[in-house]
A and B are shown apart, each in its own frame.
Chain A
């Protein structure tokens, strides 16, 4: 058990709130497939830096809220975000040492794998599935990762989030 007291919860909270806002912001129809997965990016960051704090349970909670925001079946995003959190936590020690571009590639991989599994579950329910467009949002997420990492890391060190 970690004996250090938790600090800076509000930073984590606010970062997720901002990622929610970015996730539902209105953008032109042609751009919707290219929207980066903001919530996944923030989740991956916190799972890399403080996995003892932000883990599978947080991912599940965040996923449920995202499902309600986007009015989808409860549990859809919970499923994919829990999966992403799992992969990230499994590799978090190594990811901390990687250069950012390599981290970005892992981000791409995690998002794609969890999207594919989510689509498979979708098809079991008989819901509309997506096509190649799932790669687009993973791609833009990958491009955005270095910036997200730097910004969030600065936030973390400024407010000493633990």
Chain B
């Protein structure tokens, strides 16, 4: 045992570095990861279980009074949302008519499904979350994920039972967006902190007319990954940076991101029509 120890150690260390190289540079290991993710799902499930049970218990222990009150609130909210939805349906059909008139090609139907975030800590330097839907539920890589308020991120890894979602606040995430008020196009990049986005490629001149504090940022649909029009964030800081080619603009994400318990997966079936 003693003689071969150093040899074995070096062998394993080099294998580990080799593995990191392959994983970093290419996608060969994705299927391996997907299977391993399915294998370790029980561990993640067990860590999440106490949190889920705790929430279930506290919900079960709610008094009847509280439940009735909550019920009334939800009914009210439902009523208001349905009222707004009527107008939306009207706008949607008008939009489709106009598009047909212009012989426009896109007619997208979107389907959503609820997934739960598992209470598990991934690497704390990156902003990623683990959800309980995977390949067997039809989740695919780069699938958009949203919550009730706005865009959350994309699926980056799919296992059989679970998937990993990279949030828009992750330093590696870049999202094509536009300002609603002026349709100015920019890119929202994560900064690695929990609730800040950096808006790139905005020139120093003409800042006030193009973008200002309080503006709403939505997805622009570029890059074919995210459907157009989903809210991303609100601009909170506009600082022209004389020394650099672009201004420093920051936004506050609309989605509750890591404070959520449930998220929505989006299926965007784009049907091309002539």
Contacts and interface: CB of A to CB of B under 8 A. Distances in A.
Interface of A: 17, 20-21, 24-27, 29, 32-33, 51-52, 55-57, 59-60, 63-65, 68-76, 78-79, 82-83, 85-86, 89-90, 121, 125, 128, 130
Given A26-B51, A56-B9, A78-B12, A72 B123 contact: yes
A57 B1 CA distance: 13
B20 interface: yes
Contacts of B46: 21
A128 B125 contact: yes
Contacts of B67: none
A130 to B, nearest CB: 7
A88 to B, nearest CB: 11
Contacts of A68: 33, 36-37, 39-40
Contacts of A55: 1, 8
Interface string B1-29: 10001101100110111111011100001
Contact of A32 (B33, B40, B119, B124): B124
B115 interface: no
B5 A24 contact: no
Nearest to A86: B9
Nearest to A82: B12
B15 A69 contact: no
A20 B20 contact: no
A132 B198 CA distance: 26
A42 to B, nearest CB: 14
B43 A71 contact: no
Given A21-B43, A24-B122, A25-B120, 15 more contacts: A20-B40, A51-B1, A68-B40, A69-B120, A71-B123, A71-B128, A73-B20, A74-B23, A74-B29, A78-B15, A82-B16, A121-B17, A125-B24, A128-B125, A130-B125
Contacts of B47: 21, 24-26
A78 B16 contact: yes
